[in-house]
Structure 1
Amino acid sequence: MSFGKTTPILRIFDVAKAVAFYVDFLGFKIDWQHRFEADFPLYLQISRGDSVLHLSEHHGDCTPGSALRIETDELEDFQRQLMAKEYVFAHPQIQAMPWGSQDMTVTDPFGNRLVFTNAISV
């Protein structure tokens, strides 16, 4: 038996703020987006490398304030890229964790925490 990739769904409330954070700041790209009708909530997929996230304005899809971990092998370079953008709402710092990884937590405008990590190999 095998399992595939996990695609987390994160709750958003404002598309412009979501794009400013996920696309402009973090460097994800929009793969596709969907609305059932013109004024209905937006559901979209974004990605950066192998990391794929779904963002949803639909109230029943997920809960704001979620947390997820995204592995990267270039955490220090990513942190430098983010700091160079001078994003007013985040100044991400790398922390050494007691279990041996290096983690950098960034919180989106909707309270979702993204922890970028160099993760420990097992």
Structure 2
Amino acid sequence: MRPVTLRGLVPILRVFDAGLARQFYGDWLGFRWDWEHRFEPDLPLYAQVSRDGVTLHLSMHHGDATPGSALRLHCDDVDALHAALAPRSWARPSVEEMPWGERAMRVTDPFGNRLHFFSPKEA
């Protein structure tokens, strides 16, 4: 039998408003809106966004995900990401030095999902 290789992870986050999701994930965080699907025009949205090799699915479907989920996203330079986001007017996150040796910035989306961006502390 041939070994099976897992190739990645695509979290599903619950969202409640497509326009607000576009503003937060696209306009503010800089994710590209790859595609979206609705079974009918007035039915819930299911969409994919991506940035720098990270892919997220956003769903308005009840039962696809739980509001208030948390993700940890590895970032080459969390301070540079913070500097890029700070001038934009969505939120005012700060960067913290964590006791386990990383720098982290926590952001909560409009739907209660928490995104923890982190990078290793410089030596």
Alignment of 1:1-122 (within 5 A): 1-87=4-90, 90-119=91-120
RMSD over aligned Cα atoms: 1.2
Question: How much has 1:29 moved relative to structure 2?
Answer: 0.8
SS at match of 1:84: coil
TM-score under structure 2 length normalisation: 0.92
Counterpart-to-counterpart distance in 2, 1:35 and 1:119: 39
Question: Following superposition, which runs of at least 4 residues in structure 1 exceed 2 angstroms of deviation?
Answer: none
SS at match of 2:86: helix
The gaps in structure 1 that reach 5 residues or longer are: none
Counterpart-to-counterpart distance in 1, 2:112 and 2:43: 22
Q: Which amino acid aligns with 2:40?
A: E
The gaps in structure 2 that reach 5 residues or longer are: none
Q: Identical aligned pairs, as a percentage?
A: 51
TM-score under structure 1 length normalisation: 0.92
Greater Rg by CA: 2
Q: Which amino acid aligns with 1:69?
A: R
Question: How much has 1:119 moved relative to structure 2?
Answer: 4.3
Q: Which amino acid aligns with 1:13?
A: F
